[in-house]
Structure 1
Amino acid sequence: MEIELLSSREEDTIHVARALGNILEPGDVVALTGDLGAGKTVFCKGVGEALGIPSGRIVSPSFTIVTEHHGKLPLSHIDVYRLSSVEEALDIGLDEIVSGNRLCLVEWAEKIRILLPNDCIRITFHILSGEMRRLSVEARDDPRFGTFLSRVKHLIPGG
C-alpha cells in the first residue's frame, strides 16, 4: 500500500499518527524520514497518544538515542540523527531493539535503513510550505490498514 496524505497543520499530522497508532502491534517498526522540522516528533506524539502515553512525555530522544515508553504497547522511540554510521547503531544494540517484541518509531530511519525489517511501515515527511506537509506512507498489504485508511481518507488529495 502506498498513499499520499496532506497535512495543513500539526493537528492533521497528529490525527494521522493516532489513526496509525490505533492499529499498530508489538513488533511493528515505523521508519520516519524527512528534513529537520518536518513533523517526525509530532507524529511520534500522536502515536503515543493512541497508546495512552501523554504527549508531553514524548520528546525527541536526539541525545539519548532511545526512549522507552509504556502504554497499551511497549514503545521504543528512537532518533538516530546523531549517529554517524550503521556500525555505531549496532554498537548500541539498535538491531536488537528493532527486531524485538515492541513497537518501534525510528526518526531519521534512512541512516539505519539496512537494520530495519523489510516489512516496516515507511513514512516520509515533505515540507511543502509553512505548516503544509505531504506524508508519503508505504506499508505492506495488511487488513489492518483498511481501518487506518478509513480514518485518514479526508487527507488524501482527491479523496
Structure 2
Amino acid sequence: MTRVQTIFLPDDAATADLGRRLAAILRPGDLVLLSGGLGAGKTALARSVVRALVGDDALEVPSPSFALVQPYEAGTLSILHADLYRLVSEREIDELGLFDRADSIVLVEWPERAAGLRAKANVVVEIAIPKGGAGRAVTIQARDGRQV
C-alpha cells in the first residue's frame, strides 16, 4: 500500500522539522529519493534527516555534490547521502557503492539521473517551489503505508 502525503513547508524551520519526522519512520535498508529543482531544498531536508538519525543537530552535513556520496555512521546504522546531479550515466550507480550494505539508509538527491532507482525506493519525496517562491510544497510517497 502506497501512502501519499502533501505538506506545505513555510520556512527552513518547517523543513528541518519534516526531516526529523522523516528520519523517525526510516528503517535500515530504506532507499529515500529526494526530487526537486535547483534550490528546492533537497539538501536542507537530507541534512535534517541525517542529523536526526545520527542524533547530533550540530553535525556538519555538507552537500555531496562533488563527493557524490557522503557516508555517516550512527552506532551500527550506516547512512549514505548521495547526489547524482553530476552522473553521466545510470550505469555509474554501481560504482558509488550505494547498495553495498543492505542495512544502510540511503538518501539520494537528483534520482532522475538514475530512473531505475524509483522502483527500489521505499520513500519518494518531491519538493516544489510554489509560484511566488515562498515556502515549499512537498509530496511524500511511502510504499508500505508509513506516514510522516
Q: Between Structure 1 and Structure 2, how many residues are aligned?
A: 143
- The corresponding residue for 2:23 is 21
CA-atom RMSD in angstroms? 1.9
- The corresponding residue for 2:141 is 138
- The corresponding residue for 2:70 is 67
How far apart are the structure 1 equivalents of 2:22 and 2:13?
A: 14
Contact 1:65 1:80 in 2 (8 A): yes
Identity %: 34
Gaps of 5+ in 1: 149-159
- The corresponding residue for 1:154 is none
- What SS does the aligned partner of 2:85 have? coil
Deviation at 1:53, TM superposition (A): 3.9
TM-score by length of 1: 0.81
- The corresponding residue for 2:108 is 106
Amino acid at match of 1:48: V
How far apart are the structure 2 equivalents of 1:86 and 1:118?
A: 14
TM-score by length of 2: 0.86
Change over 3 Å in CA distance of 1:116–1:12 after alignment to 2: same
Deviation at 1:37, TM superposition (A): 0.6
Deviation at 1:58, TM superposition (A): 1.0
- The corresponding residue for 1:10 is 12
How far apart are the structure 1 equivalents of 2:121 and 2:96?
A: 23
How far apart are the structure 2 equivalents of 1:91 and 1:48?
A: 22
Gaps of 5+ in 2: none
- What SS does the aligned partner of 1:70 have? strand
Contact 1:10 1:131 in 2 (8 A): no
Alignment of 1:52-91 (within 5 A): 52-71=55-74, 73-91=77-95
Q: Which moved more, 1:71-80 or 1:103-112?
A: 71-80
Deviation at 1:55, TM superposition (A): 4.7
Deviations 1:16-74 (A, max 9, x none): 11001012111011100100110000001111121114454211111111110112531
